[in-house]
């Protein structure tokens, strides 16, 4: 659920969130659907690598200081992205998805792959059991150390494996990434 690492910097977030024409950006919850802004080829390639279909996965940008933002800060501490069932919530500063060329950056790819692995974990788990495990681990590790949970270590390792894969090398080639 929680992507618990610190960002290397507070990078820019999707511009649609802060555009002035949105009087109340993100509606009541404070989230904007940015699924179309995430490189679909990256999502598909990660899906092939994990043996999963992520076409129904949605990505949301969490609006700073919105209701959802405050909940996630309360329950997930310093997380930069949080996955809940099939939805990935990107916290402010979490991922810059403004350009598909971001697919070339390890930070971006790691985060997307890590969170998509959590979507796969949710598919395998029973929801009630998942919540009970999360509560148990919250007591054990503490809110800001949830990245030490076994499910987090597994997701981290899966993302690293993807980044070392020929599938990712092919995608980098397609995107014209530099070595």
Nearer to Zn ion, 22 or 140 (CB): 140
With contacts defined by CB under 5 A, name the span among 25-33, 63-71, 121-129, 145-153 that binds Zn ion: 145-153
Interface with Zn ion (CB under 5 A), residue from 3, 31, 108, 149: 3
For the CA atoms of 61, 67, 71, 72, the dihedral, rounded to the nearest 10 degrees, stands at: 10
* CB-based contacts of 19, cutoff 8 Å, min separation 6: 25
Please report the beta strands in 19-113, taking only residues with DSSP state E, as ranges in sequence order. 31-33, 58-62, 81-84, 87-90
Does 152 contact Zn ion by CB under 5 A? yes
Does 149 contact Zn ion by CB under 5 A? no
CB 76 within 8 A of CB 1: yes
With contacts defined by CB under 5 A, name the span among 69-77, 87-95, 98-106, 151-159 that binds Zn ion: 151-159
Nearer to Zn ion, 16 or 121 (CB): 121
Does 108 contact Zn ion by CB under 5 A? no
């Amino acid at each position: 659920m929680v992507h618990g690492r610190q960002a290397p910097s507070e990078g820019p977030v999707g511009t649609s969130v802060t555009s002035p024409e949105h009087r109340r950006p993100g509606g009541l919850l404070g989230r904007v659907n940015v699924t179309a802004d995430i490189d679909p080829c990256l999502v598909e390639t990660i899906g092939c690598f994990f043996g999963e279909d992520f076409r129904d996965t949605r990505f949301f940008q969490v609006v700073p200081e919105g209701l959802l933002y405050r909940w996630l800060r309360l329950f997930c501490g310093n997380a930069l992205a949080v996955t809940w069932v099939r939805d990935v919530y990107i916290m402010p500063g979490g991922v810059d998805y403004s350009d598909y060329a971001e697919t070339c950056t390890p930070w971006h790819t790691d985060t997307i792959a890590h969170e998509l692995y959590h979507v796969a974990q949710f598919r395998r788990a029973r929801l009630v059991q998942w919540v009970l495990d999360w509560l148990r681990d919250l007591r054990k590790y503490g809110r800001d150390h949830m990245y030490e949970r076994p499910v987090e270590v597994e997701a981290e390792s899966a993302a690293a494996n993807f980044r070392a894969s020929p599938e990712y090398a092919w995608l980098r080639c397609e995107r014209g990434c530099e070595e």
